[in-house]
């Protein structure tokens, strides 16, 4: 069995258990557990806040308007979904009912705490070199508790799950901006994704310099 198959099988096993999770009350209102998807062998993992309406309906992360904006930003940074792994800090949709309509809301501290073991299991299996936190809540889990997204985005940190972590603006936040504010926020997202890609390349080169006898992974080298 290759290492690749081992990673995928381990991740699948965790996903099967997460799909029946009832560790918090969000289990009562979800349609699907949105575990995460992408390349589990990627050195680059993107972590968002939680599923929205479209994600809850499809079971896939970042498939709504925010997902389309993320895809565009990834393309501008020279990447595609197939090159990264994407997940969220909570796996079920958090929402409130306002005027008869379900509106997304940030996850509570209790919900995040209940769900973090799934994120921990994912990241422990994938062992990324670089994590991009999309938005402040993800950065509060991955980087440090009192993370301030506007002040600290674009800076490099270490994380218990990766040697390098950076936070970027969440695509859903960018979509709420208009005109020049939208353009500025979107440009920052692209800039941070480009920085993340460059950091992966830098760390892989450092790893390979330290381990000259390990054959390079052709697939990964083609992008990073």
Minimum CB distance to ligand SF4, residue 113 (Å) = 9
Residue 24: partners with Cβ closer than 8 Å, 6 or more residues away: 92, 110, 111, 114, 115
| Strand, helix or coil for residue 131 | strand
Which C-beta is closer to ligand SF4: that of 25 or that of 144? 25
Which C-beta is closer to ligand SF4: that of 77 or that of 126? 126
Closest CA to 90 of 125, 122, 127, 57: 122
Minimum CB distance to ligand SF4, residue 20 (Å) = 9
User: What is the binding site for ligand SF4 (CB under 6 A)?
Assistant: 18, 21-24, 26-27, 33, 90-92, 111, 114-115, 118
Minimum CB distance to ligand SF4, residue 111 (Å) = 6
Give buried/exposed letters for 105-127 (b at 16+ CB in 10 A, else e): eebeeebbebbeebbebbbebbe
Which C-beta is closer to ligand SF4: that of 20 or that of 150? 20
Which C-beta is closer to ligand SF4: that of 124 or that of 158? 124
């Amino acid at each position: 069995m290759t290492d690749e198959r081992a990673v995928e099988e381990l991740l699948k096993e965790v996903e099967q258990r997460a799909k029946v999770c009832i560790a918090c009350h969000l289990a009562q209102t979800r349609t699907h557990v949105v575990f995460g998807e992408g390349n589990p062998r990627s050195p680059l993992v993107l972590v968002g806040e939680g599923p929205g309406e479209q994600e809850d309906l499809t079971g896939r992360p970042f498939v709504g308007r925010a997902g389309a904006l993320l895809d565009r930003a990834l393309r501008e940074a020279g990447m595609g979904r197939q090159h990264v792994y994407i997940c969220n800090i909570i796996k079920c949709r958090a929402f409130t009912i306002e005027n008869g309509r379900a509106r997304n809301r940030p996850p509570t501290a209790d919900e995040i705490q209940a769900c973090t073991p799934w994120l921990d299991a994912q990241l422990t299996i994938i062992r990324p070199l670089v994590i991009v936190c999309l938005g402040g809540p993800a950065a509060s889990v991955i980087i440090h508790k009192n993370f301030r997204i506007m002040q600290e985005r674009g800076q490099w940190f270490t994380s218990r799950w990766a040697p390098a972590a950076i936070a970027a603006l969440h695509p859903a936040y960018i979509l709420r901006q208009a005109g020049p504010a939208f353009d500025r926020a979107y440009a920052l997202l692209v800039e941070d994704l480009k920085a993340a890609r460059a950091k992966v390349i830098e760390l892989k080169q450092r790893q390979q310099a330290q381990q000259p006898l390990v054959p390079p992974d052709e697939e990964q080298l083609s992008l990073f």
